[in-house]
A and B are shown apart, each in its own frame.
Chain A
Amino acid sequence: MQTRDLADLADLALAEVTRLGVEHADVRARQEDSESVQVRDDVVEGVSHGSSSGVGIRVIHDGAWGFAATSDGSADAVRRAAQQAVEVARASAMVRGRDGARAQLDERQPSVGTYTTPHERDPLEVPLSEKVDHLMSATATARDAAAVSYVEATTEAWRTATAYRDSSGGAVDQLVLQVGGGLAAYAIGGGEVQRRSYPNSFGGQYETGGWERVLLLDLIGGAADAARDAVLLLDCPDLPLREDAVLLLESSQLALQVHESVGHAVELDRILGSEAAYAGTSWVAATDRGSLRYGSPLMTVIADATTPHAMGTFGYDDEGVPAGQAPIVTDGVLTGYLTDRQSAAALGEQSNGTARADSWGAIPLIRMNNVSLQPREGDLASIVADTDDGVLMHTNRSWSIDDKRLNFQFGCEVAYEVRRGQIGRMYRNPTYAGRTPDFWGSCDALGGPSDWKVWGVPNCGKGQPSQTARVAHGASTGRFRATVGVR
């Protein structure tokens, strides 16, 4: 984007496409700047900045969807993209399905507003030397604590400015800042690769806000324990296979369980079949609200795009719908879906604001915001104390679930035996598996507010072309029944 600012570009794109007589148009002009720093031991292995800008134009024309996007901000290029979007919509109209249904959106008042993520220090303005020093202090602390093979530390930041305009008068300007940081200690030997991460795996913890949120993660404070555990794991036994075991999950792993077996399953576009060929559909039906028992009465899940500091927090979604809260599961019963303007219209409702595009070049899809399992009472210690015979697992290592979000299998970094209310021996390579309604139905303990934490998930894939969303999930310690030790 050479000369125009984003608002001008969005206005230009909207003017060009509405001139073509479309039924609906929305445009997103976006500039995303990012930075990534990766350190291994005392070596900086990767430092990169990224900058991507452009405009995406989405239309309904002749009752069908079209979209075109360009990184070229010149007036000619924007005009061509507008024409291309209409041309694409005409092609879409060639294959309308057996019922010939026309594309529709919900009825709503257009949004006009602005939003900026609350922050103290823009993470992209923090000197590189400060970031490197911070990460290297953490890796040095880990290496001093135990004879690890190596320690990696990373920090990432994204600054995303969007100007949204639509043909109904919607106009939103938004700046979202997101950051992350983490550490992983590795121990390698005897055909094993063992890893312990802090504060979470796959890059650590991710939030909205400024650099101050990375400092609050206290990577240095968590480094030594991670290193010691990684080394200990090398000589631990593998977790034995056991069916119908009592399984305790700490909050970061339970957050990912919410992501895979609740969040995706309640996306209304999946339920209606839009994602069938790729990510799949859902075991949940569009008629299940109010009647489907999703889990035990302890289970309440809320989608909340306003949770402070959470990775999935924003002011407006990418269809200009203001951020809000929506019930998903209440006391174990399905009470809502994640919706966008199109899927909500199919149910005769209004969107609850979860449409997001991962760039200017992508269409908005239903994406989780902060889909959180609400806390109950107690904490990890009290739940362990209340468990006679079980297994406690920490920190995700891998995940897999079927295309209806029923059969899942997860791997974690470490497991501990729980016997007569005490944490016992450590196990390596732990896994657990189950089916979604059985698993959630077995939940008989969930930690309280002091045990509850919102975990960022920066790599949620969906759609074709594939898009990556940055989302989050709150969870506390939970107790369930599942098969453990699958290999």
Chain B
Amino acid sequence: MWGEDRLTGLADGALSLDGDVEVVLSRTDSALTRFAGSRIHQNTSRLDGEARVRVVLDGRVGVMVTNDLSRDGLRAAAFKAVEIASFAPADPHFAGLAPAGQPYGRTAGPDEETVGCPPQRRAELVAAMLAELPTGVEAAGTVETSLREHSVVTSTGIHVYSAQTGAAASVLAQGPTSSGWADGAATAIGGLDCAAFGRRAGEKVGLGAEPRELPAGRYPVVLESGATSDLVQWLGWLAFPGRAYNEERSALSGRLGEQVCSPLVTIVDDPLSPRLPGTPFDAEGTATRHTSLIEAGVAVGVAHDRTTGAVAGSGSTGHALPAPNPEGGVPHHLLMAAGTQTIEELVSGLERGLYVTRFHYLNVVHPVTTSITGMTRDGTFLVEDGRIVGGVRNLRFTQSILDALAGCEAVGSEAELTAGDFGGGALAPPVRLSGFTFTSTTAY
């Protein structure tokens, strides 16, 4: 770990240049232990960093990115950014660099055990998951740890630094005719209960053995935390970005203040939450904060960076991504408020429907209606008379997220943080939805 002085000190040379200068620095020490066939087959460790220098000359913007975190490397990157800016036409929409003097919140600091986590510790956690599996069940999955240091330094006087740790584990238990999944993420490796993950995944193999084929159609569902998180994340990409909102490409365009889903649904973005690995500032140095997006089913906000916030007249909400980012602000620390029901109570309220552990390979069908498609996998069960009666073969859904959440009948009390596929992550509880449209089936 480098610490604040060493990381932010790299920006000094760049700040001496003419023009407005923003330097976004990061340093990442990450490791991921991967297993399949119940043995560790890939095991990696990577130490990397990045300096992203943005120079603004009379409205002309240039960005240079380098992973050479030396003073010479930063200086060379800054000169290249100046060269790019000098050739680029002026950007009339650029809202300028963020001002100094903002009140920044606090996030939990790095966890010492996670910072120094040796590969043997990750291997022990893999073994802990495997030890909980029934005989004859093989497994695949991951245990990963990371330390990320971030800093933003600008010629306008911003000088901020933050360090966070993260840890995540997952296990896919594979039986002869069924599979089961469990995963979790935390800000510290001590927050992972890997034995519990192994037990949950293993139990699902037994529950789902010899799955029956169910015809496609509309079914009430109970979604586990990870499946709900996927829906919330996709809302984050489709409905909440400020530029999509400004340009009427979002389901929420012109609908702030309207009821868009069930009163049981409240979604916020909060990088300051102790349950998420967030930072007190975004990639422009704007202070991050608790941002309400959907409050009791009513659309109340979207995410802006400085540029889209200026267009909307609301200013930045602290959701800038690293420049250049034409898509504008995007929320990446989404939390859906928990309810009161246990997972057993959610299931008991289902007369006949499906219990979904996990979705796979989601993609957009219609961005304005928030319609997406994807598959279920690793634990899809039929529920009858309030109890799971057996596994079903996986199904494909094609469904509007907001329409699904409009039918939210109950919300679970145990929201779990999951690391999303292909980046991202969200904290969301299990839910019971009155209807979910499955459009086809598969063979397993």
Contact = CB atoms under 8 A, between A and B. Distances in A.
A464 B88 contact: no
B36 A46 contact: no
A466 B174 CA distance: 22
A45 B46 CA distance: 32
A49 B394 contact: no
A191 B68 contact: no
Contacts of A382: none
Contact of B361 (A64, A66, A188, A400): A400
Interface string B34-65: 11111111111111110000000000011111
Contact of B326 (A46, A149, A193): A46
Interface stretch (A17-25, A85-93, A210-218, A307-315): A85-93
A5 to B, nearest CB: 14
Nearest to B47: A70
A38 B63 CA distance: 12
B362 A400 contact: yes
A95 B130 contact: yes
B360 A2 contact: no
Given A127-B87, A401-B361, A402-B442, A363 B368 contact: no
Given A69-B47, A71-B48, A411 B365 contact: yes
Interface in B231-288: 247-249
A266 B358 CA distance: 25
B91 A402 contact: no
Given A400-B361, A400-B363, A404-B444, A38 B40 contact: no
B371 A487 contact: yes
Contacts of B365: 398, 411, 429, 431, 487
A273 B44 contact: no
Interface string B112-150: 000000111011101100100000001011101000000
A433 B363 CA distance: 13
Contacts of B68: 1-2, 51, 53, 71
Contacts of A50: 64-66
B398 A487 contact: yes
A52 B375 contact: no
A67 B45 contact: yes
B13 to A, nearest CB: 15
Nearest to A77: B47
Interface stretch (A96-104, A289-297, A327-335, A446-454): A96-104
A129 B60 CA distance: 13
Measured as residues with beta carbon below 8 angstroms from the partner, the interface class of chain B is: 35 or more
B195 interface: no
A464 B124 CA distance: 19
Contacts of B84: 47-49, 128
A407 B89 contact: no
B280 to A, nearest CB: 25
Contacts of A400: 361-363, 373-375, 396
Most buried by A among B42, B70, B124, B367: B42
Nearest to B54: A48
28 contacts: A40-B326, A45-B324, A65-B43, A67-B42, A69-B47, A69-B48, A71-B67, A71-B68, A91-B33, A91-B43, A92-B40, A93-B40, A94-B120, A274-B36, A277-B141, A277-B171, A362-B44, A402-B377, A402-B442, A403-B375, A407-B396, A407-B441, A409-B439, A433-B440, A435-B443, A464-B42, A487-B365, A487-B398
Interface of A: 1-2, 36, 38, 40, 43-54, 56, 64-72, 77, 81, 84-85, 87-98, 101, 103, 127-129, 132, 149, 188-189, 191-193, 273-278, 280, 283, 361-363, 398-404, 406-407, 409, 411, 429, 431, 433, 435, 461, 464-466, 483, 486-487
Given A52-B67, A409-B440, 20 more contacts: A2-B68, A38-B326, A43-B92, A44-B88, A44-B89, A49-B84, A54-B67, A69-B46, A91-B119, A128-B84, A129-B87, A273-B36, A274-B41, A277-B172, A400-B361, A404-B442, A464-B34, A464-B142, A464-B144, A465-B30
